[in-house]
């Protein structure tokens, strides 16, 4: 779960995904799957930490993309 949270935080900060995928913080594909959803639904809470971003995605689960929803499911969220 921690890896997913870190990946989501990295997405929200729009940092280079390839470097972080190599460090085991979510694959580049997982990060890419949720980038738009984080920016679209969670922009107001981006600076509030990993758990807040995850909570935001969960609150907007009915609206997020299928790909991002699958990333959450893959990480038991």
What is the model's pTM?
Answer: 0.69
pLDDT digit string, tens, across residues 43-57:
999 999 888 999 999
The b/e string for 31-68 (b: 16+ C-beta within 10 A; e otherwise) is bbbbbebbeebbeeebeeebebbbebbeeeeeebeeeb
Write down the pLDDT at residue 77.
Answer: 93
Question: Mean pLDDT, to the nearest integer, of 2-19?
Answer: 55
Higher pLDDT, 55 or 17: 55
pLDDT band for position 1 (50/70/90)? low
């Amino acid at each position: 779960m921690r890896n997913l949270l870190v990946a989501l935080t990295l997405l929200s900060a729009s940092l280079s995904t390839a470097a972080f995928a190599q460090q085991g913080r979510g694959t580049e594909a997982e990060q890419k799957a949720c980038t738009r959803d984080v920016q679209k639904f969670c922009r107001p809470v981006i600076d509030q930490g990993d758990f807040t971003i995850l909570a935001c995605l969960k609150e907007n689960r009915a609206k997020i993309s299928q790909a991002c929803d699958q990333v959450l499911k893959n990480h038991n969220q």
